[in-house]
Amino acid sequence: MQNKPVYMMAVAPHPHDAEWGIGGTVARWTREGKDVIFVICTNGDKGTSDPGIKPAVLAGIRKQEALESARLLGVKQVIFMDHPDLGLEDTPEFRKEILRLILTYRPEIVATRDPYFQRYVSNRDHRITGHVVLDSVWPYALSPNTYPDLIEQGLQLHKVKQVLLWTPENPNYRYDISATFELKKAALGCHKSQMEDDEYFRMITDSNKAAAQGTEFTFAEAFVRVEIPQRL
């Protein structure tokens, strides 16, 4: 049951969210030999404006796109939770699933989407994933009595050091991705089902350039970096 601890676990609501938010940073870390894994909460089967494509077909396409993209970035493993797209709920069961992954893979850093971004018009899976990940990292991962059956199954409590929230409105941390921006774009380019027009690459280029403003970097990814208390 016990895996070797990983450096970072990125929990993405949908396929391609992690690449969009933290792909350049991931590529830097994997080049340094650090283990990164992706968890993808939903199957992405609503991610189209084309009424002609069946949800099950789209889910299959998106799984292949995610695997190809993760391989480019040097991601060690992709875990597909396969929940229905736009169907996440903040339930005890979903929180337990995320907690189980944290206690199993024991990441030093957990990254996910900032749940507070665009709070009035935001994707529900983004909001719910962000909140559930934060709850699972603290306090659940330090609390033996929240899901005692996980502990009885042999999992141990775990102290995550840091959470990085991507796509924040008010970042407190910027990471230089000048050297890996092209690779990030190539990874995003694997998600062909999500590219309806040229906007896709223009948006990410503008966003990562804007994140670098005021720094010496050409491209950056911006985060809210949350230091996690190491005790209850």
- CA dist list (Å): 35 to 8, 25, 32, 71, 106: 7, 12, 9, 13, 11
Size of site (CB under 5 A) for Zn ion: 3
> How crowded is the C-beta side of 88, counted as CA atoms within 13 Å?
27
Of 5-13, 31-39, 139-147, 156-164, the window that binds Zn ion (rule: CB under 5 A) is: 5-13
Q: What are phi and psi of 202, to 5 degrees?
A: -65, -40
Is 13 among the residues that bind Zn ion (CB under 5 A)?
A: yes
Burial class (CB in 10 A: 0-12, 13-18, 19+), 197: exposed
Residues in CB range of 109: below 8 A, 6 or more apart? 7, 8, 9, 160, 161, 162, 163, 164
- Give least dist CB 176 to Zn ion, A: 24
Of 11-19, 65-73, 91-99, 159-167, the window that binds Zn ion (rule: CB under 5 A) is: 11-19
- x/- track of binding to Zn ion for residues 17-56 (CB under 5 A): x---------------------------------------
Token readout for 186 is: 């190539």
* 18 or 155: CB nearest Zn ion: 18
- x/- track of binding to Zn ion for residues 108-147 (CB under 5 A): ----------------------------------------
Of 3-11, 13-21, 167-175, 183-191, the window that binds Zn ion (rule: CB under 5 A) is: 13-21
- Give least dist CB 15 to Zn ion, A: 8
* 131 or 159: CB nearest Zn ion: 131
Is 62 among the residues that bind Zn ion (CB under 5 A)?
A: no
Is 14 among the residues that bind Zn ion (CB under 5 A)?
A: yes
Edge-first strand order for the sheet with 77-83 is 77-83, 36-42, 8-12, 109-113, 162-166, 220-227, 173-176
Rounded Cα distance between 203 and 168, Å, is 15
Can you give the binding site for Zn ion, defined by CB under 5 A? 13-14, 17
